[in-house]
Amino acid sequence: MDYVLTVLLPQLLHGLVFGAALGLLALGLTVIFGLLGVMNFAHGELYMLGAYAGIVVIGVTHSFWVALIAAPILVGIVAAVTEVATLRPIYRREPLYGLILTFGLALVFREGARQIWGGDMRRILPPFTGSTPLLGMTYPNYRLFLLAASSVILLALWLFFTRTRAGIVVRAAVQDAEMLDGLGVDVRRVFTLTFAASGALAALAGLLLAPVFTVYPQMGVEMILLAFIVVILGGMGSMGGSVVAAFVIGVAQSLFSLWMNPQRVAIAIFGIMIVVLIVRPRGLFGREGVLE
Amino acid sequence: MRKMTWLLVLASVAAAGAGMTAPALSQSKVVKIGDLGSKVGVFEGYGKYQTMFMQMAVEELNAKGGVLGHKVEMISEDDETKPAPAVRKAEKLILQDDVKLLVGAVSSGATMAVMDVTKKHKTIHWNAVSCAEFMRTTKFHKYYFSNQPDSRMQANGLAKYIVDKMGKKVYIFYTDYAMGQSDGRQFKTALEKIGGEVVGVAGAPLDTKDFSPWFGAINQAQPDVLFLAFAGTDSLRLMTQLHSFGMTKKYKLAGIDCFLLQQDLPAIAEPMEGFVQLAHYSAYNADKQMAAFNERFKKKFGVDGNIMAGAYDGVLFWAAAVEKAKSFDADKVEAALEGMCLDNTHVGRQCIRKEDHQVIMDMHLYQVKGGKNLPIARLEGKDTIGEPMVGKDPVEGFTWEIKKK
Amino acid sequence: MKSVGWRALLVFAVLALVPLVPGMSRYYLLLAFDALLFGAIAMSLDLLMGYTGLVSFGHAAFYGLGAYATAIVMERGVLSIWVCVAFALLVVGLYALVVSYFATARRGIYFALLTLIFAEVVYTVFRYTQAFGGSDGIQGLPDATLLPGVAIDTPLRKYYLVLAYLAVAYVVCRVIVTSHFGRVLVAIRENEDRARFLGYNVQRYKMGACMVSALLTGLGGAIYPMRSAFATPDLMLWTESGEFIISVMIGGLGTLVGPVIGGAFFTILRDKVSSVVDWYFIVIGGVLIVIVLFMPRGLLGLRRLFARRTGGAAA
């Protein structure tokens, strides 16, 4: 019983905290794929830029809370500009070009960030410190906040996608992009807005996780692979699926590190991924035919 | 489009050609030395300071007329903290730039890879920061010199203090690559030999972003002391996270000399409070020579120095040996360096031991108080250096197993 | 062989004479080695990307596995190049068999994703397994021997080694591309369904292309430790796979020769520029973006594409 309390449950909590933020990141990725048919390799870099934007805003306003609003907006603008300039021309081409193009974008963003802000690690101090005695250890308050904030945002997004007209339209379009045209909607504008929103979400995730993981140019590279896995597991184009999968992966990662060397955990996760791709490529909730 | 093909081919040839003829006829009598290290990434702090300390030494040498009448020129390269680029850059420095001294690298893995290159091409190789235990044992070659206290030396000096003054039960947490594994091994051996109890060991990969998965096990083991063998940005992250989980107050802290650099301390002064380490440099050491040296560095670069000061000494040693041997030839310089002693280093008298080319120098135990690492004891060089073990396996008979008491 | 052509022979003759160029130092010979190796691997990737239309984001795994195979053999004292190569081909072949079987099962970006993830597994395994040297890899390898007593120890000999490899790779690729098999690959690239309706077992052909590409890349990986004296996990990073793709894109999809030049150009550029300027990745990323937007077939590809079209390939 003691083991469950002092080791298992805290580990579970770690997993949920991480899974929540991962969900924010993966959600943007899946929406982009569903709607634009592009697997955005630069998504990790938008996440990274969110953290750096946060540093800039905090530097000016000294407020983490202001940054939480301003940084995603800034990155959203960058994403929108990028989409118009580089992605729009290639929608009609094979999706492989999208992969390669976003790979190039990732390089530019990553190196650009390194040039502007330097390669060393930066810290963003959590807006509040202190910890709560919880489950036999003292758990940092900020991580609890992270879990709460991510969950609230995910909930808000769910409401948007299920209760508002705009949300329903986008959701349907993610399932079937061609339908948008039929509705008389300005497709190009929707694409740009969605890409911008996806970037803003990634940026938000980046900023929220920054006080825990610190900020450095490579931080996106490490997350992007995990985000891909979540999206595939959840089902490409299924938003609910991505969120569920994010929690699953977050918790799995956390629990696995109890029983195997934490370094090998990645292998287990990848293993799961391969099995899923082989046996049920559409993932948990994806729709058939996307990859089959 | 055919034009494009030829354009591209011509461009490549031109680039290659331009690069090749670039080593132009420079002015007379210049000798080059190489500065190889991590200029970017997790160990950036060490690499950049290595460059600064070397620069200081080079300028002082040139002010006195250079070495053997030659002006000293320093060429810096980044090894990306990985063995493969380190080897490439080392080859470039040696084969293309013809350096007579190579200082580097920072990461033990990179240093060991570079040792193969310097051995093959017979270049004097000085290391001032890598502390894996293989460099002066199994991988040792005659052109290699070091004034970094390696894991064995640190363990010899620090283990006793830990067991006597801090606590018998120690948990060893290390960074899982050459350096960290080496520290883990040597400290476990040393601690157990003098009656301490190692209640747990764990390793986290280099560049881990979240260390909390390991905290559960640490808490379960209930140690008195948490011994940490990490470096660079990993240390910053680790301390921040340990602090947010309340563990920095719960356990006493100790670690290796390169755990945290001078310049990073102020940012995490509170988490680091009470941390004990063995090192050869601190900007807050009242020792006259060290303080004066730090002032000189500060005047030049505007910041305090750190443990990379060894690189400064390395250049000075090399220059003195070249003068003594009246030649840049590696074999002659190597012979001159053996047994050589210098007094004008950053920490007083340093002597190079003949058997394994390791520098014997006095060191201090430091404890972090109020964001500064202040000396709490002085250790003589001969007490920490340990037996020369060239060619012998330093980890023979070692086991990671935790002996349950 | 008529498929090889006199132009190719001429180029190889020129390349063979490179060591005689005045001013050619040991350092430059090694750089030439790297350039040609990278170019050859890019060429074998082109067989998959340009001709069959499958983008592999996991090619670095084939490369790295070949390197580790050689390293593991040499570490145990067996220095014969033939043993190393044979073992590497075996290892890479087995891995490629598994990956290609599953990756070609479905369509679209599925292939890219699966090759990527398989490669990540391989990378993780090698990086975190101490038996393979962990993150530092296997280092300090001796020189390989061609025949008992004849070691490949000087940069000159290493250069000719890579030239031999390039020749082999080129011949293999040319033969495939000009054969019936090669034409079916192009047909699959153009319209997979049509090829299937015509009765071709599409998966088999894709697997074949993938295997050949993988084996050639693995061969390149196998001879790398003979120059560098080490094998490290970084050889298998997906960013390394990305660099192969960049080389192919620069040089030109579907041309074979283009990627060789692209790969060589990329290697030389990286070496020269990285010493002077550290933001060259921005340039590389930018070049990639520009190529995708305006010159999707690479610098050389467009012309060849048209030539092929009018030459009457797939119906």
**What does the domain layout of chain A look like in residue ranges?**
21-220
Q: State residue B388's pLDDT score.
A: 84
Q: Are B375 and B366 in contact (CB under 8 A)?
A: yes
Bond into A210 cis (ω within 30):
no
For the entire predicted model, the pTM comes to 0.82
Domain B30-149+289-360 homologous superfamily, CATH: Response regulator (3.40.50.2300)
State pLDDT tens for residues B306-347.
Answer: 889 999 999 999 999 999 999 999 999 999 999 899 988 888
Q: State residue B379's pLDDT score.
A: 86
Considering only CB atoms, which residues of chain B are within 8 Å of chain A?
Answer: 40-42, 44-45, 176, 204-205, 209-210, 212-217, 219-220, 233, 236-237, 240-241, 244-246, 267
Q: State residue A141's pLDDT score.
A: 87
Closest chain A residue by Cα to residue B248: A138
CB contact under 8 A, C135 and B205: yes
Question: CB of C235 within 8 Å of any CB in chain B?
Answer: yes
> Could you tell me the residue range of the domain that residue C212 belongs to?
26-236
Q: State residue B31's pLDDT score.
A: 93
Do the first three CATH levels of B30-149+289-360 and B152-286+363-384 match, i.e. the same topology? Answer: yes
How long, in residues, is chain B? 405
Region label for A136, one of left (φ > 0), alpha (ψ between -120 and 50) or beta (otherwise) = left
CA distance A46 to chain C (A): 16
List of chains touching C (3+ CB pairs within 8 A):
A, B
CA atoms within 13 A on the CB side of A274: 21
Q: State residue B289's pLDDT score.
A: 86
The size of the A-C interface in CB pairs under 8 A is: 112
Per-residue pLDDT tens, chain C, 315 aa: give them: 455 677 778 888 888 888 888 877 888 888 889 999 999 999 999 999 888 888 899 999 999 999 999 999 998 988 889 999 999 999 999 999 999 998 888 766 778 888 988 998 899 889 888 788 887 788 878 888 888 878 888 888 889 999 999 999 999 999 999 999 999 999 888 888 888 899 888 889 999 999 999 999 999 999 999 988 889 898 898 888 988 998 898 888 888 888 998 898 888 887 777 666 667 778 888 888 888 888 776 665 544 444 444 443 333
Q: How high is the ipTM of this complex?
A: 0.80
Q: State residue A289's pLDDT score.
A: 54
- Rounded distance, CA A171 to CA A31, Å? 8
Q: State residue B23's pLDDT score.
A: 46
Partners of B92 on chain C (C-beta within 8 Å) are 27, 275
CB contact under 8 A, A101 and C288: yes
DSSP letter string over B6-30? HHHHHHHHHHHHHHHH-S---SSSE
Which residues have CB under 8 Å from B226's CB, separation 6+? B170, B171, B173, B218, B242, B247, B251, B252, B253, B254
CA distance A132 to chain B (A): 9
Q: Are A36 and A264 in contact (CB under 8 A)?
A: no
CB contact under 8 A, C140 and B139: yes
Question: CB of C299 within 8 Å of any CB in chain B?
Answer: yes
Selected from 3.40.50.2300, 3.40.50.720, 3.40.50.2020, 3.40.1080.10, the CATH number assigned to the domain covering B152-286+363-384 reads 3.40.50.2300
CA distance A154 to chain B (A): 23
Which member of C27, C232, C269 has the closest CB to residue B15? Answer: C269
Partners of A19 on chain B (C-beta within 8 Å) are none
* B231-246 residues labelled b (16+ CB within 10 A) or e (exposed): bbbbbbbbbbbbbbbb
Closest chain C residue by Cα to residue A266: C124
* B329-357 residues labelled b (16+ CB within 10 A) or e (exposed): ebeebbebbeebebeebbbbebbbbeebb
- Rounded distance, CA B157 to CA A199, Å? 52
CA distance A50 to chain B (A): 17
Which member of C230, C261, C299 has the closest CB to residue B87? Answer: C230
Partners of C296 on chain A (C-beta within 8 Å) are 93, 97
Band (pLDDT 50/70/90 cuts) for residue A128 is confident
- The fraction of chain B above a pLDDT of 70, given in percent, is 92
- Rounded distance, CA B240 to CA A124, Å? 11
Which member of B40, B210, B246 has the closest CB to residue A138? Answer: B246
CB contact under 8 A, A137 and B213: no
CA distance C146 to chain B (A): 21
Report residue C170 as tokens.
Answer: 């080129």
Which residues have CB under 8 Å from A40's CB, separation 6+? A29, A32, A33, A98, A102, A198
Strand partners, B125: B102, B144
Report residue B329 as tokens.
Answer: 């030839």
CB contact under 8 A, A278 and C105: yes
Chain B, 344 to 403: residues with Cβ < 8 Å from chain C are none
Q: Check residue A83 and report its DSSP letter.
A: I
* Consecutive H or E run containing B373: strand B372-379
State pLDDT tens for residues A50-69.
Answer: 999 999 999 999 999 999 99
Which ranges constitute the DSSP H helices of B194-304?
A: 215-221, 232-244, 247-250, 269-272, 288-301
CB contact under 8 A, B210 and A212: yes
Report residue B342 as tokens.
Answer: 């210098």
Q: State residue B323's pLDDT score.
A: 92
Partners of A119 on chain B (C-beta within 8 Å) are 40-41, 44
Partners of C249 on chain A (C-beta within 8 Å) are 100
Band (pLDDT 50/70/90 cuts) for residue B255 is very high
List of chains touching A (3+ CB pairs within 8 A):
B, C
Partners of C268 on chain B (C-beta within 8 Å) are 12, 15-16, 19
Is C266 a member of any domain?
Answer: no
For chain C, the domain total comes to 1
List of chains touching B (3+ CB pairs within 8 A):
A, C
Residue B144 has pLDDT above 50, yes or no: yes
Q: State residue B8's pLDDT score.
A: 54
CA distance B350 to chain C (A): 31
Closest chain C residue by Cα to residue B6: C300
Strand partners, B202: B173
- Rounded distance, CA B76 to CA B74, Å? 7
Neighbours of C180 (CB within 10 A): 8
CB contact under 8 A, B217 and A131: no
Which member of A11, A120, A142 has the closest CB to residue B216? Answer: A11
Q: State residue C305's pLDDT score.
A: 46
Partners of C294 on chain A (C-beta within 8 Å) are none
Q: Which of A28-37, A173-182, B183-192, C130-139 has the lowest mean pLDDT?
A: A173-182
CA atoms within 13 A on the CB side of A207: 30
Partners of C287 on chain A (C-beta within 8 Å) are 104
**What does the domain layout of chain B look like in residue ranges?**
30-149+289-360, 152-286+363-384
Which member of C53, C116, C249 has the closest CB to residue A100? Answer: C249
Q: Look at B67 and A121; give whichever has higher pLDDT.
A: B67
Q: Look at A284 and B136; give whichever has higher pLDDT.
A: B136
- Rounded distance, CA B171 to CA C135, Å? 24
Q: State residue C314's pLDDT score.
A: 36
Is C304 a member of any domain?
Answer: no
Residue B227 has pLDDT above 60, yes or no: yes
- The fraction of chain A above a pLDDT of 70, given in percent, is 93
Q: Which of A81-90, A200-209, A256-265, B296-305 has the lowest mean pLDDT?
A: A256-265
Region label for A258, one of left (φ > 0), alpha (ψ between -120 and 50) or beta (otherwise) = alpha
- The fraction of chain B above a pLDDT of 90, given in percent, is 33
Q: State residue B404's pLDDT score.
A: 60
Helix (H, G, I), strand (E, B) or coil at B280: coil
- Rounded distance, CA C129 to CA C232, Å? 12
Q: Are A27 and A201 in contact (CB under 8 A)?
A: yes
Which member of A7, A139, A218 has the closest CB to residue B220? Answer: A7
Residue B116 has pLDDT above 50, yes or no: yes
Q: Is C32 exposed, middle or buried (0-12, 13-18, 19+ CB in 10 A)?
A: buried
CB contact under 8 A, A90 and C293: yes
Neighbours of A81 (CB within 10 A): 12
- Rounded distance, CA C33 to CA C41, Å? 12
Which member of B16, B40, B206 has the closest CB to residue C135? Answer: B206
Is C255 a member of any domain?
Answer: no
Question: CB of A116 within 8 Å of any CB in chain C?
Answer: no
CB contact under 8 A, C23 and B11: no
Residue B2 has pLDDT above 60, yes or no: no
The angle, 0 to 180 degrees and rounded to 10, between the axes of the packed helices A239-259 and A9-36 is 150
Give which of C170, C192, C217, C8 is closest to C107, Cα–Cα. C192
The amino acid present at C50, given as its one-letter code, is G
CB contact under 8 A, C108 and A95: yes
Phi, psi of B203 (to 5 degrees): -125, 140
Question: CB of C232 within 8 Å of any CB in chain B?
Answer: yes
Partners of C265 on chain B (C-beta within 8 Å) are 8, 11-12
Give which of B18, B163, B199 is closest to C269, Cα–Cα. B18
Average pLDDT value over all residues in chain A = 84
Question: CB of A164 within 8 Å of any CB in chain B?
Answer: no
